[in-house]
Amino acid sequence: MSDSHEHWLKQIDAELDGEMSLAERALLAKHLANCSHCAGARASQLEVRVALARSAGDPHARVVPRPTIRGRALAFWAVVALAVGVAGGWLAHGRWGGPGGSLEDSRAAIVVH
Amino acid sequence: MRRLSSISTCGGFAIAALLWAAQGPGTRVTYRVRVVQDGMLELARGSVSGPAGTDLRFALRDDTAEVEALFQIVPEGDTVLVSGEFYTKRRLGRSRRGLGLWEQDSYRRAVRLAWGDTARIHLFGRPRPGAPPGDGLWVQVVLVRGFSGGEGRPAEELQVLDSTMDIVLEAVVRPRRARVVMNLVRGDTVSGPRGFDLVPEAPARRVQMAMAGRTTTLEIGLARPEPARSARDRVLALDADVVCLRIATPEVAQPVGVVCGRLNDVARRLPLPGGDTLVATFAWPAGR
């Protein structure tokens, strides 16, 4: 797995250096579409190169924006987390009771069998 | 006719003896106790027995809770009223400076049951509705009575199967009599032991003790100790088997001194005015 990533990281370097053929670039693009790790690595490489270009005095260098979490996905996961929390609290209360409870409930009781 | 009369007389005596044995001082009470976790795991088992009027002192302690209780019984016909005084401490957490915070509570519970019935004591409250049967920690107590056979001393037996908990079972008996053994000591000389069966709060008794050709006359009487100062000690009857020996001399109106102790054969000393030392040990009287 790590060897495979090493291979693709070398490919990303070559692509950014402009040393790849069209077929190789297509192959890399296909891999980046499925591999978030390599896509992130490519974005980092780009950022580093942009920073270096800026420091070298290139005013047109720009940072490539990274993909961000979309609002809908964030809202969805927030609702899921809330629902799981409420359900877990409900079950735990039924099983162990809430924090504290009444004093009388915690006192000893004698039952005849 | 004479034969019928003798049979009926014998039957009457037998019934009277049976009733006396069942209700009177010849009765011996046994508490059979089991401590159970979640209905399956037995943490401890044991029994406590003693003459009629024997109470059961129970304690259970772990890192987070402490329950102490004194169970007393009042027989009424075929049933028995069991009442328990509880003292509990629960750990709530820690203070900002790292000290343990405890919640202390005391209350009383009572229930009526038949001899041989099982009382289940849920130490930390009744199980919640919907909880599995036998959920939580509980103590099972079975009360049995039988003939004492003249044995007036309490007996205790406890087997703790879970060492993470400290469990105590004790018989609490207020002695009706006590065996007091006394010696006089003067330097290296010790008098022969004199033993007396004394009844608490009975009138004082004059005794003579001889040592090295000299006779010392003392007036001795047994008394109950002063009531315990703390409510916990009083309710749990921690001084139930303590007696106090009051010693006086005929020449002096005021008592020379008082020696208090448990009935555990431990020697206690009291200096007398003449320079002698009285050594007294208290013990349960021998069975009759």
Closest residue, chain B, to A107 (C-alpha): B125
User: Are B79 and B142 members of one domain?
Assistant: yes
Asked, for residue B86, whether it belongs to a domain, the answer is: yes
What is the rounded average pLDDT of the residues B125-147? 83
Which pLDDT value is given to residue B21?
41
C-alpha distance from B245 to closest chain A C-alpha (Å): 39
User: Are B186 and B116 members of one domain?
Assistant: no
- Please judge whether B122 and A105 are an interchain contact, meaning their C-beta atoms are less than 8 angstroms apart: no
Distance of CA B187 to the CA centre of its chain: 37
DSSP conformational letter for B254: S
Which pLDDT value is given to residue B287?
63
The ipTM (two decimal places) reads 0.71
- Contact by Cβ (8 Å): A112, B122: no
Checking if the pLDDT of B19 tops 50, the result is no
Which structural domain, as residue segments, surrounds residue B207? 178-283
Q: How many CA atoms are closer than 13 Å to the CA of B181, on its beta-carbon side? A: 14
Residues in A touching B130 (Cβ below 8 Å): 94
User: Are B212 and B138 members of one domain?
Assistant: no
Which pLDDT value is given to residue A104?
83
Q: In which band, very low, low, confident or very high, does the pLDDT at B260 lie, cut at 50, 70 and 90?
A: very high
Q: In which band, very low, low, confident or very high, does the pLDDT at A100 lie, cut at 50, 70 and 90?
A: low
What is the rounded average pLDDT of the residues B244-268? 88
User: Are B134 and B195 members of one domain?
Assistant: no
Q: Of the candidates A103, A105, A108, which has its C-beta nearest B109's C-beta? A: A108
User: Are B279 and B248 members of one domain?
Assistant: yes
Rounded CA-CA distance A61/A49 in Å is 9
Domain boundary among B172, B207, B229: B172
User: Are B54 and B190 members of one domain?
Assistant: no
Mutate to test the interface with B, among A93, A103, A104, A110 (most CBs of B within 10 A): A110
SS3 at position A105: helix
Closest CA to B124 of A107, A61, A51, A79: A107
Domain boundary among B118, B148, B172: B172
Which pLDDT value is given to residue B213?
83
Closest CA to B283 of B154, B155, B178: B178
Which pLDDT value is given to residue B108?
94
User: Are B202 and B164 members of one domain?
Assistant: no
What is the rounded average pLDDT of the residues B232-256? 87
Asked, for residue B1, whether it belongs to a domain, the answer is: no
Domain boundary among B172, B191, B209: B172
User: Are B89 and B182 members of one domain?
Assistant: no
Structural domains counted in chain B: 2
pLDDT by residue (tens digit) across B148-171?
Answer: 777 777 899 999 998 888 999 999
Asked, for residue B17, whether it belongs to a domain, the answer is: no
Asked, for residue B288, whether it belongs to a domain, the answer is: no
Residues in A touching B120 (Cβ below 8 Å): 110-113
Checking if the pLDDT of A22 tops 60, the result is yes
What is the rounded average pLDDT of the residues A28-57? 87
Rounded CA-CA distance B2/B17 in Å is 22
Rounded CA-CA distance B30/B155 in Å is 9
Closest residue, chain A, to B115 (C-alpha): A112
What is the rounded average pLDDT of the residues B50-76? 92
Rounded CA-CA distance A93/A99 in Å is 9
User: Are B225 and B112 members of one domain?
Assistant: no
User: Are B137 and B159 members of one domain?
Assistant: yes
The residue whose two tokens read 């919907």 is B130
What is the rounded average pLDDT of the residues B18-30? 61
Closest CA to A32 of A67, A71, A61, A69: A67
pLDDT by residue (tens digit) across B79-100?
Answer: 999 999 999 999 988 889 989 8
Contacts of B54 (CB under 8 A, 6+ apart): B29, B48, B154, B171, B172, B173
Q: What is the share, in percent, of chain B residues with pLDDT greater than 90?
A: 53
Checking if the pLDDT of B69 tops 60, the result is yes
C-alpha distance from A37 to closest chain B C-alpha (Å): 45
Checking if the pLDDT of B11 tops 70, the result is no
Asked, for residue B140, whether it belongs to a domain, the answer is: yes
Q: In which band, very low, low, confident or very high, does the pLDDT at A5 lie, cut at 50, 70 and 90?
A: confident
What is the rounded average pLDDT of the residues A85-112? 80
- Contact by Cβ (8 Å): B39, B133: yes
Q: What is the share, in percent, of chain B residues with pLDDT greater than 70?
A: 90
pLDDT by residue (tens digit) across B195-228?
Answer: 999 999 999 999 999 888 888 899 999 999 998 8
User: Are B196 and B276 members of one domain?
Assistant: yes
Which pLDDT value is given to residue B175?
87
Checking if the pLDDT of B14 tops 50, the result is no
Residues in A touching B142 (Cβ below 8 Å): none
Asked, for residue B244, whether it belongs to a domain, the answer is: yes
Asked, for residue B5, whether it belongs to a domain, the answer is: no
Which pLDDT value is given to residue A53?
82
Q: In which band, very low, low, confident or very high, does the pLDDT at B4 lie, cut at 50, 70 and 90?
A: very low
Asked, for residue B13, whether it belongs to a domain, the answer is: no
Q: How many CA atoms are closer than 13 Å to the CA of A45, on its beta-carbon side? A: 16
A36-55 and A22-34 helices, crossing angle to 10°: 120
pLDDT by residue (tens digit) across B106-122?
Answer: 999 999 999 999 999 99
User: Are B168 and B265 members of one domain?
Assistant: no
Which pLDDT value is given to residue B5?
52
